[in-house]
Structure 1
Amino acid sequence: MPDDISIDDLFDPQLTQAQVAALAYGDAHPVSLTEGAVLNAAREWTGLADFGPDDFRERLNLLLDEWDADANLTNLSRANLYNYTVRYASNRLLIQNTLKNDPSIHDEVIDRPIIIAGLPRSGTTHLVNLIAADPRLQSLPLWESYEPVPLPGEQALPGGMDPRYQRCADAWAGMQTVTPLLATMHPMNPDHIHEELELMGPDFASYNFEWLSFVPGWRDHYYTTDQTPHYDYMKTVLKLLQRRHGARRWVLKCPQHLEQLPVLKTVFPDAFVAITHRDPVAVIQSAVTMQAYTARINRKHFDATTLITYWSDRVEHLLRACMNDRHVWPAEQSLDVPFHQFMADDLATAERILAKAGLPMTDQSRQSVADYVAGHPRGKEGRMIYHLERDFGVNPDALRERFAFYFDAFPVKAEIK
């Protein structure tokens, strides 16, 4: 893979053989986006039938109905979305079964978690992986976030590998085949530390569905719905995982928290929160390029104006919510992390966060984090070159004027000229 990568066919994609074959496979294997199809598949996969409280069905059907009405979805995308919902429904069955068999899991205490928030594409992923390298902390690898509970009776693979890990590795290999440049923009290998909002998936909640497909109806539902019950659900799944692994302080991260700071405080009142801050124009540029790139297999037609409008609005909503609610996290429980300072010295940033969270680095933890830094240099998978004005017809300085309120409030540096 070249050091510098520039995608010059975002809205007139030249498909690879692998992409053509994947789209043809989707066309040959259409799926039914209905509640019955999803829940029956989950029952068959797990051998279980108790989904717990039924309120999730309304949210599941909101998603399925919006996807089913979207004529621009490819059949491959419909299949991927179907598989997501089946996995979430299956996880819900497994989680419900585990809690029913051991109600004492609810007594677990999630003690003073370190939680990273910030805009998507603002360094939160690198920061959580960096801090998670500290062996004193518990984190959530992608493979376990995708399947937090093993299937009943499923045995380890030859060599001892967890079959959940293998399924995640197979999915990553498939993603690299069909969308090879995604690894440059957002790695998704099994050991990669992932967002805990994945644990809201079995409750059919969170803004994550906005990243999977174009769902303005779901976004509007999310905006007008109290997210506290879904954060409580996610916390319960963390308790389940903690029961299995033992009690250590968690390090978590999710950009959604930026617009849910009061909910986060309600559900995790003793947490320490680190908030990254980056030029929103750079964030939008990265987000829309990633969305446009994956659209070649997900959508029959998609235009630059729709993308840039949606994600500019979305980023503004995140930032205005942060501006309104930042005060709920007092200085002793929070830290603002400017992106340019983090990129200049990521090890020092991790050390500063851990120290303020009451967990000063030891020699061992410092070495573990330093080893992670050495093994994961920026641009390891190549460096993406973005073209906001060329590809989306938007002048960076003109777009940045929309976010003057944010630059006035936080020490953010403009990146894109």
Structure 2
Amino acid sequence: MNASPPNVGAAKLRIEDLRDPVLTDAQRAALAHAERHPADLTVDAVLARARTITGLDDFGSDDFVERLRVWLDEIRLDPNRTALAGRIMFDLCVKYAANRLRITGLLARHPKIHDQEIVAPLFITGLPRTGTTHLVNLLAADTRFRSLPLWEADQPVPDRGEGPGVDGVDPRYVRCDRAWQRMRAGNPYLAAWHPMNPDSIHEDIELWANDFAGYNIEWIFQMAPRWREHYLAHDQTSHYRYLKTVLKVLQWYRPGERWLLKCPQHLENLGPLMEVFPDATVVMTHRDPVGAVQSAATMRAYGSRTAYRRFDVAEILEYWTDLMERLLRAGVDDRHLVPEGRILDVYFDRFMADTMGTVEQVYRHAGMELTERARAEIIAYVDAHPRDKHGSMTYDLRADFGITPERLRDRFAFYLRQHPVPVEVR
């Protein structure tokens, strides 16, 4: 059976077929195409393709190969995965391997890039759906900040000889926009849930991916238990050093006064973050964690219709509840690793009630002046980006997952004692 895409202009969007999916024409076509053109999920195939695309062959340190193999095995060794999941994994790994080649090649040609200094970066962290995206986009409207738009995160280093077209648009921007349109075709709810247009400020986890690190593939592929086991068994400090190197590359291309970055995964890596960025300021967002879990689990369950041949929504809910609990426990236990005076708590309800007041608080905490120009830039962004422009998602834990919000909230009692946020999901 086919289904038409939802009315994305509607004020409220609800996924009615979460447990019993009805595929859209675009989803069925993508699955069929992947079955006809299965990917070769081997390290050699990925690296060969990346070399062909870039004309380069130096990946730098080869420690990433082990992690790349785990990523590929996550799909290759699971008979329940679809050919489309394999195709997406292969293409992503090729993209990140090619980026790694470009970054290594640029550093070899311009070694003074290593002398760039990353001064007092501002890191925003918190669970998904707690206001991190809105806050980082607001602050990034201040042109003094050096932020990370998706089109740059997607390919930090252009191909040699590649520059803006006759229209002045960077080809990387064009490619990123095409990818965004493909993603929207595969998931018609995505624009309402988490827009990924080229100009949107993206998570620095995308830069980690060029080192085959971070929780990116868990997000993209719904669950990744093999990778999670590997990730949790290893210290992440080296990947923060790699992140810093890529930030130097991006800063060399386009300087800014101060880096502005965000990613939920910083919650469980405050130690490595502060070791590599000792003068960083951390902004931590807070909201009812049940809302974060139900949002993540719902959208991961929706994505499972093309990633798995069969899936269990209860398993997906448990996976993402566990992941969110782990992030919050680390954020509570390790916040002392951030020096006193350099961590700021932002509560979602207060943020929504007084947006500019929250922005002013962040500037004060970061030791920056909120100039009249910066204020005008932020207000202009707010006016141009109304909330729920593409509609808003509605969720139902009871109907979709067979669990009450109260029972799920019990998992987060340790967090709510520290941060008694208002209950939003009832």
Structure-2 residue corresponding to 1:97: 105
Aligned-partner SS, 1:331: coil
Structure-2 residue corresponding to 1:127: 135
Shift of 1:360: 2.0
Q: Which residue, 180, 184, 187 being the options, matches 2:192?
A: 184
2:247 is the alignment partner of 1:238: yes
Residues 99 and 156 in structure 2, CA contact (< 8 A), matched pair in contact too: yes
1:146 partner amino acid: D
2:68 partner amino acid: L
Structure-2 residue corresponding to 1:58: 66
Structure-2 residue corresponding to 1:172: 180
Residues 126 and 267 in structure 2, CA contact (< 8 A), matched pair in contact too: yes
Structure 1 unpaired stretches of 5+: none
Residues 54 and 159 in structure 2, CA contact (< 8 A), matched pair in contact too: yes
Question: How many residues are aligned here?
Answer: 417
Q: Which residue, 270, 273, 282 being the options, matches 1:273?
A: 282
Cα distance in 2 for partners of 1:80, 1:332 equals 43
| Ranges of 4+ aligned residues in structure 1 off by more than 6 Å | none
Structure-1 residue corresponding to 2:404: 395
2:270 partner amino acid: L
Q: Percent identity of the aligned residues?
A: 52
Aligned-partner SS, 2:135: helix
Cα distance in 2 for partners of 1:4, 1:14 equals 20
Q: Which residue, 264, 268, 271 being the options, matches 2:273?
A: 264
Residues 81 and 212 in structure 1, CA contact (< 8 A), matched pair in contact too: no
1:73-115 CA distance string (max 9 Å, x none) = 2212211111110000000000000111111111111011111
Structure-1 residue corresponding to 2:258: 249
1:109-131 CA distance string (max 9 Å, x none) = 10111110111221111111111
Give TM-score, length-normalised by structure 1.
Answer: 0.98
2:84 is the alignment partner of 1:79: no
Structure-2 residue corresponding to 1:336: 345
Cα distance in 1 for partners of 2:245, 2:71 equals 23
2:152 is the alignment partner of 1:144: yes
Shift of 1:347: 2.4
Aligned-partner SS, 1:332: coil
Cα distance in 2 for partners of 1:381, 1:359 equals 33
Structure-1 residue corresponding to 2:372: 363
Structure-1 residue corresponding to 2:37: 29
Cα distance in 2 for partners of 1:29, 1:172 equals 22
Cα distance in 2 for partners of 1:137, 1:147 equals 20
1:106-159 CA distance string (max 9 Å, x none) = 111101111101112211111111110111111000010010000112343331
Give TM-score, length-normalised by structure 2.
Answer: 0.96
1:210-264 CA distance string (max 9 Å, x none) = 1122211111111121100001001100001111112420110000000001111
Cα distance in 1 for partners of 2:397, 2:170 equals 42
Residues 145 and 260 in structure 2, CA contact (< 8 A), matched pair in contact too: yes
Q: Output aligned runs, 1:269-348, within 5 Å.
A: 269-348=278-357
Residues 145 and 256 in structure 2, CA contact (< 8 A), matched pair in contact too: no
Structure-2 residue corresponding to 1:114: 122
Cα distance in 2 for partners of 1:254, 1:128 equals 10
Aligned-partner SS, 2:188: coil
Residues 347 and 373 in structure 1, CA contact (< 8 A), matched pair in contact too: no
Shift of 1:345: 2.1
Which is further off, 44-53 or 146-155? 146-155
